[in-house]
Each structure stands twice: as C-alpha cells, then as structure tokens.
Chains A and B, each alone.
Chain A
Amino acid sequence: MMFLAILFSISVCFLLILIRLIAGKTTYDRILAANSIGTIVVLAISIHGFYMGRPEFIDISIVYALINFIGTVAVLKLFDKGKLGDK
C-alpha cells in the first residue's frame, strides 16, 4: 500500500513538471523539465517493481537512466551546433 501511495505522489510531481514542459518559455526550460521527468520515471519504474512484488525489473530503470542522459546531451548538442556529427 505504501508503494502505491508513493507512486501516486510521484505522479503528482510528474504532473507539475509536465506543466513546465508544456508551458516553458525557452527551450532550455523544456529540456530541463524533460530531464527531470526522466529521473522521476526512473524512480517510478523501480518503485512500481517493488509494488508488484517483483523488483527484478530494475534493469529497465538502469537502461532508462543511461538513455535519459544520452538523449538530453544529444538534444543540447544539436541545439548548440545544429548537427550531431563532428564533420
């Protein structure tokens, strides 16, 4: 029951940041909000595993933590240079 309550409170935080993601004035606000949502979802996936009683699926949150970092840096690099490659 406790994990369910925590899952719901995380959803509330998700909603708050989603407002910033949609309403954010500059692109940097949106990128920051997307990155924070990624972190929150990483936590939510692992807590969901505990709620279902099968916490073996934490691998997904590891993958997501890696992907979230790479994606954010890729978006920022594209915004900086206008392309992803070196040439």
Chain B
Amino acid sequence: MITEIIINAFLVSFMLVIALFIVNTRKVIFTILLAGTYSLVAALMFVSLDAVDVAFTEASVGAGISTILFLAALSFLPKEEVQESFNKNDIFALSICLLIGGLLIWASYDLPMVGNENNPVHQHLVSDFIEGSKNHIGIPNVVTAILASYRGYDTFGETIVIYTAGLAVFILLYNRTSKETNKSVKNEISKK
C-alpha cells in the first residue's frame, strides 16, 4: 500500500515538474516534446492505477498521434510564442473561471464516494457484465464488449459517427486520378 503511494507520488511529481516547464518554455517545439514526455508519464500512472485500457489509449493517442498532429500543425505556426501583455479583461475572465470551478467542486461533494462498493453503480448490471460478457459475446476484453456490443443500441449515434469517419478515411485514401496519373507517369518514363 505504502509503496504504491510512493510510486504514485513520484509519478505525480514528475508530471508536475514537466507541466511547470511546459508553461515556462517559449519555443513551441520544446513544448511539444515535453507534452509527449508528460503523456508518457501519464500512461505509466494509468498502468499503476490498474486502468490498462486507458493507459493503452494514452500511449497511442496522447503520446503518439496527438504529438504528430501538433507537429503537423506547427509547420503553419511561428516558431516562438509571443509574450502577451496583461489585459484588464483578464481579471474578469479569471474570476469567472474561479467562480465556476469553485461551484463545480462544491457540487461534487454531493456525489457518492469514489470506489465505495455500496454505490448504486456497482449494485446491479456490473457484476452481470463482468461475469457474462465472455460467454455472451466471445470477446475477451470487457471494455470492448460493453462499448461495441452491450451499448450498441444506446450508442447508435456514436457508431454512425465512427462509420462516417471510416468512410471519410476511405474517400481520402481513394485516389480518383490514379489510373490517369499512372498512365501519364508511364508515358513520361517511356519518353525518357
């Protein structure tokens, strides 16, 4: 128990140090490098909290794809961040943020305690899902089974979104002019 707390404290302090330096650096490419490192420590943190699926997502999306997307976006940006001067409107915005954040934290006291086994969430269905998903569906991962099959009807919209995204990828990848360009390239090569 103590050792787990020590490991988590170590990881959290790493994340804090990296986050402070992310705020501090003015060069955008260093920010991206540090952000990749940050999400890698976050993945380690999720592993130590036993949330393996989340760690998997964090490692592949947070550290991988988003880093590369940031880099691709960076090529359209100036290389250095401009230092912004303090504005009077900022105080207004800051106070609104603090107010709403405080209200949300206050509201969170009404929620049931995290991890309490008497919570309504853990009383019904969950045990059924955990015990039965392997036999009902035949997919070993419970999270995948719930997302893709049990919730198939109430996430019908989500399924449509994913289907549209896949279709868009195929449309982008499908090269409409491929045959003609191939012919023209071949012609050019044969001319040479």
Contact = CB atoms under 8 A, between A and B. Distances in A.
A–B contact with Cβ pairs below 8 Å: the answer is: yes
Interface of A: 4, 7, 11, 14, 18, 21-22, 27, 30-31, 34, 37-38, 41, 44-45, 48-49, 52, 57, 59-60, 63-64, 66-68, 70-71, 74-75, 78-79, 82-85
Please report whether the interface of chain A is mostly helix, strand, loop or mixed according to DSSP. Answer: helix
Interface residues of B, number: 34
B137 interface: no
30 contacts: A4-B3, A21-B33, A21-B34, A27-B30, A30-B30, A41-B40, A45-B43, A45-B44, A45-B47, A52-B48, A52-B50, A57-B52, A60-B47, A60-B55, A60-B56, A64-B43, A64-B59, A64-B63, A67-B64, A70-B68, A71-B68, A74-B68, A75-B29, A75-B32, A75-B67, A75-B71, A78-B29, A78-B74, A83-B72, A85-B72
Contacts of B68: 70-71, 74, 84
A71 B36 CA distance: 9
A64 B46 CA distance: 14
B47 A37 contact: no
B190 interface: no
A3 B137 CA distance: 37
B47 A34 contact: no
